[in-house]
Structure 1
Amino acid sequence: MASRDRELADAQFEHWQSTYAAHPGMYGDQPSAPAVHAARLFRTVGVADVLELGAGHGRDTLHFAREGFSVVATDFSSVGLDQLRHRAREQNISGRITTIVHDARDPLPLPDGSADGAFAHMLLCMALSTKEIRALVAEVRRVLRPGGTFVYTVRHTGDAHYGAGTARGDSIYEHGGFAVHFFDRAMIDDLADGWTLTDIDAFEEGDLPRRLWRVTLIRPT
């Protein structure tokens, strides 16, 4: 990793750690709309084991577990995952959840074909280079069983914050301390290489609002 990329990665790590510490449960207790959609889809296609990338403090992880899925939740913030585990104990669903502190730039510490489904809400559009995002998606493909389903969301170039704030290169802009890699459609198609792309859905979230795509990929059998 180039020194400039490492500096940005380290700064984002510290920013998220301190943000979760200062604002426990910052995204609330209700699951995101993409997680609700993914849970319905996963149930329809027979998913039992879900890998969630960038779980944060766990609002979506907890939803998957309440819906009966076994979940491996990863995030680079130990503070966020501590909050997740605390809420899981409160809801008596700890037995369905495994947490792993993991930097998305590193290989996933999971065996080949160990999950039926994968979910990532805005993890791929964090401060990751295009090369790092491609490597992460390849890792998800490795970890999924043949026929497995991957649902992810990303902010796109139609978002109000695209081009705003501090430019960090590679379509990454930092605004309010948060660095975001904004996707265009070509990036979606590039990441779908080796997968079956079944759905791209545009939606909005939050007060700005953030503009995102929800993408569904299937690992070919």
Structure 2
Amino acid sequence: MAGHQRDENLAEAQRKHWQTTYTTHPGMYGEEPSAPAIHAAAVFRSTGAKDVLELGAGHGRDSLHFAHQGFTVQATDFSPTGLQQLKDAAAAQDVADRITTAIHDVREPLPLTDGSCDAVFAHMLLCMALSTKEISALVGEVRRVLRPGGTFVYTVRHTGDAHYGTGTAHGDDIFEHGGFAVHFFPRDLVEALADGWTLDEVHPFEEGDLPRRLWRITQTLPR
């Protein structure tokens, strides 16, 4: 029970921190899509995908990119402020008809029916303050909502990152810096999350000034 309460407290603290961050720094990641989203859009297009779910969409730069690329997008995040910024931007860019939003905590079941989307994208969402158990449950939910042959592209910071093992330790490979808690992925966790999928790619890349060290993972459900 003590461990569960500690996880709840950390999750609530992170929710408040992100809400404050989006309020204080509107559009904090800029208007240009992330490199992983540009790659994912090309992958999704090659598979014939039409419906994309983005988990942890934030203020929506990647969801907007998917919409401009012709996809129908369901964007989720636990920050109402971030999603409102996304909706405002979608209206301004004339893609509001392609994007729907839902406030959602990924520790809860996804608000979609079984087999209802072609592709799922999550940039640095799985490596937030989630336990290994919660991450595994989330990937199970992704599997549930994807159609057979559907593709999941996600990115995570990994244990080769300079911040791994430093800052405030919360256990389960979670370390906090500057108010942001990160679950750093070992390779065996990537392999475990791909059980029952085809693991198409684990692509290493760097982002930001530290630089942050990440993997871009692509995995596909069997048909």
TM-score after normalising by structure 2: 0.98
Q: Choose from 25, 31, 34 the match for 2:33.
A: 31
Distance 2:93 2:34 in 1: 18
Give the CA deviation at 1:207. Answer: 1.1
Q: 1:119-157, CA deviations, whole angstroms, 9 ceiling, x for partnerless residues?
A: 000000000000000000000000000000000000000
Structure 1 partner of 2:55: 53
- 4+ aligned runs moved over 3 Å, structure 1: none
SS in 2 for 1:162: coil
1:103 and 2:105 matched: yes
Distance 1:141 1:119 in 2: 12
Q: Choose from 117, 120, 130 the match for 2:119.
A: 117
Q: 1:80-107, CA deviations, whole angstroms, 9 ceiling, x for partnerless residues?
A: 0000001001101000001000001000
Letter in 1 for 2:176: E
**Structure 2: unaligned runs, 5 residues or longer:** none
Q: Choose from 125, 128, 136 the match for 1:126.
A: 128
Any residues of structure 2 matched to 1:70-219 within 5 Å, and which?
70-219=72-221
Letter in 1 for 2:135: I
Q: 1:26-84, CA deviations, whole angstroms, 9 ceiling, x for partnerless residues?
A: 00000000000000111111010000000000000000000000000000000100000
SS in 1 for 2:135: helix
Letter in 2 for 1:13: R
Q: Choose from 15, 19, 39 the match for 2:17.
A: 15
Give the total of aligned pairs: 221
SS in 1 for 2:165: coil
Distance 1:83 1:209 in 2: 27
**Structure 1: unaligned runs, 5 residues or longer:** none
Give the CA deviation at 1:194. Answer: 1.3
SS in 2 for 1:116: strand
Distance 1:59 1:188 in 2: 26
Distance 2:193 2:37 in 1: 21
Give the CA deviation at 1:164. Answer: 1.2
Distance 2:138 2:192 in 1: 13
Identity %: 70
Distance 1:61 1:17 in 2: 19
Distance 1:89 1:143 in 2: 27
Distance 2:131 2:141 in 1: 15
Distance 2:16 2:120 in 1: 26
RMSD: 0.7
Distance 2:135 2:53 in 1: 17
Distance 1:98 1:140 in 2: 18
SS in 2 for 1:2: helix
